[in-house]
A and B are shown apart, each in its own frame.
Chain A
Amino acid sequence: MNDYLIALLGGGLIGLASVILMASQGAVMGISGIVSRAISRPTSVTAWRLVFIAGVLAAPIVYSLFANNFIALEITENSVLLVIAGLFVGVGTVIGNGCTSGHGVCGLSRLSARSMVATITFMLTAVLTVAAVNYLSGVN
């Protein structure tokens, strides 16, 4: 299947997951919010968040059982860069109240102006960051 169709299909599954979560828990599928609230307030109210995270963690295992192509994952091994990126992502999602899934998928689907502004902002910033990293490392 071609790249675009696969991307569309994968996106459809992400959308389906957000609909299932809204239909069952009545909650928006924002991964940064789910993760940060699961760790900061571990009460009975957060139990569903831990269950959701368990489902996400189980995905590569289930996928590997049924698909015969392996999961491609190319990532930098530069520890300093990984830690810095994690810091920025963590602080940014808490202050800005969401990430790619919450603002980018659920928020845009509800035509939320906040999510629109957040998504355009983080897309632009990420594009500029990639361009800057490439420039500094002499790729482009």
Chain B
Amino acid sequence: MRLITIFISGLVFGIGIIVSGMVNPAKVIGFLDIFGAWDPSLAFVMIGAISVTMVGYKLVLKRDVSLFNLKFSLPTNTDLDRKLIIGAVLFGIGWGLVGVCPGPAVVGFLVAPKPLGLFLVSMLVSMALARRYMDRVR
């Protein structure tokens, strides 16, 4: 039952990415192109997502454990350190280069397997290497 709920969560996320237009890299680039032909519509995706999450989290986190009796695991790190900034800068460069971030890449994979497959394989390899490196420096 828990896994079915999680599958539905993934499904709803994916449909949200499709409906909102986030799945389309050209639209994402249009949103990021504020000095050019700016398309501000994707800002409303953030507004919609954040308002629902904010209210929903408040309600859900009133409980002590999840509906399936699991502990809530929320990030506890509060350091505004160099890693956070460097990581965000690198992520921003990659995102801006082709207009793809991890969620939409997985959502769109079956629609455009060749370009998104290349992106995803490269992303997965670099994630694995970065994770190994981070484990070593820690």
Contact = CB atoms under 8 A, between A and B. Distances in A.
A18 B54 CA distance: 10
B102 A73 contact: no
B11 A55 contact: yes
B62 to A, nearest CB: 11
Interface string A118-132: 110111111111110
B75 A107 contact: yes
B118 A55 contact: no
A130 B29 CA distance: 7
Given A26-B73, A71-B108, A19 B52 contact: yes
Contacts of B115: 75-77, 79, 82
Interface string A49-72: 001111111111111000000011
B14 to A, nearest CB: 2
A13 B15 contact: yes
A140 B91 contact: no
Interface string A25-58: 1111101100110011000000110011111111
Interface residues of B, number: 111
Contacts of B11: 55-56, 58-59, 62
Contacts of B60: 19, 22-23
A105 B18 CA distance: 16
Contact of B16 (A17, A35, A82, A109): A17
Interface in A93-129: 93-97, 99-101, 103-110, 112-114, 117-119, 121-129
B57 to A, nearest CB: 6
Contact of B102 (A20, A35, A40, A71): A35
Given A40-B128, A77-B115, A86-B120, A4 B41 contact: yes
Contacts of A47: 3
A24 B87 contact: no
B131 interface: yes
Given A36-B127, A87-B126, A128-B96, A15 B51 contact: yes
Contact of A124 (B42, B59, B92): B92
Contacts of B129: 91
B13 A114 contact: no
Interface of B: 2-3, 5-27, 29, 32-36, 41-54, 56-57, 59-61, 65-68, 70-75, 77-80, 83-103, 106-112, 114-116, 118-132, 134
Interface of A: 3-29, 31-32, 35-36, 39-40, 47-48, 51-63, 71-77, 79, 81-97, 99-101, 103-110, 112-114, 117-119, 121-131, 133-134, 139-140
